[in-house]
Amino acid sequence: MKNILIPTDFSSAAWNATQYALQLFAESECIFHFLNAYTPEMHSNRLMAGKVLDTVKGCSAQSASEKGLRKTLGQIKKEYNNPLHTYTAISTFSMLVDEVKEVVEEHRIDYIIMSTSGGADDETIFLGRNTVRILNHGYQCPIMVIPPRVRFENLQAISLISEYNHLFKGDELNPMIDLARYFNSGIQIASMHKPAAQVTELQQLNHEFITERLRGIYHNFYKLDSENSLKSYVDQTNCQLLVLSNNANSYLRNLCHDYIVGRSTFCCHVPILSLQHIENNISINC
């Protein structure tokens, strides 16, 4: 039984991520936990009328949150009605990142799945504020972010980005491996190099470790000349899932250093699977 957490703001992008998750695990027994965290705007006012206004606003936000969750679950049961799936709804007055942490720990969440941009209407945004906050937080479970126009297709091709300063080890690759075995996917390991650099000892160790862990799964290696070529690689490849480590000094962590990630900085037309916070980065000179 898998436990899947889906933070939602009830936007069309959030619904698209929900549909992707339901189809991704259509043949697996799952509990889907739908989370909406609301923080109504509070106003400082010494008068009782101000306190009453704040209470009304709080009740209104709570009501909208609970209504949105009921509507989401009703729509799921109407359109999918999968006997392998059960659903819970969590409406909470709290900060999103704090509530996600609690749910991840309490329910032993296997995957967090959410949209890249939520309800942001700005077409220049690739990763919105909530998505960046969740990616930057220390959750010990993988996070999958879904672009708003992506439709689910069976995962035949997965791309894993291997960076020159990160050594994979232990169970870090398990979320990707589980999906690859489930869908009988092929995996391409794209090794990110500094310009004009040779394969380092660390990268060679990575290749050996990955080859051992992917035993029985078709895979091959591809060389990326620089971080700047990653976007071109994603645009040109036929991969259906991009897998990135999210550790200190990683490409993804550096990408999310600001409140949002604009499309001019990076944009991806496929879902991203973030392997979270296995802190084993090694500083090397290439």
Largest CA distance in the chain: 70
- pLDDT for the residue numbered 43: 46
Q: How far is the C-alpha of 4 from the C-alpha of 110, rounded, in Å?
A: 6
How far apart are the C-alpha atoms of 216 and 180, rounded to whole Å?
10
pTM equals: 0.86
Distance CA 130, CA 121 (A): 14
- Name the segment(s) of the chain with CATH classification 3.40.50.620: 2-146, 157-276
More confident residue, 280 or 175: 175
The structure tokens listed for 52 are 């009453």
> In this predicted structure, what is the pLDDT of residue 191?
86
- pLDDT per residue over 152-183, tens digit each? 999 999 999 888 778 888 889 999 999 999 99
Residue 46 has pLDDT above 60, yes or no: no
**2-146 CATH choice from 1.20.140.10, 3.30.1330.10, 3.90.1720.10, 3.40.50.620:** 3.40.50.620
The pLDDT of residue 149 is 85
Q: What is the dihedral of CA 259, 148, 21, 154, to 10 degrees?
A: -130
User: Could you read off the pLDDT of 194-215 as tens digits, one per residue?
Assistant: 655 556 777 788 889 999 999 9
Model pLDDT for residues 240-270, shown as the tens digit of each residue: 999 998 876 677 766 766 666 655 556 678 8
Residue 184: band (very low, low, confident or very high) from pLDDT cuts 50, 70, 90: very high
Which architecture does CATH list for 157-276? 3-Layer(aba) Sandwich (3.40)
User: 24 is written with which tokens?
Assistant: 């991704």
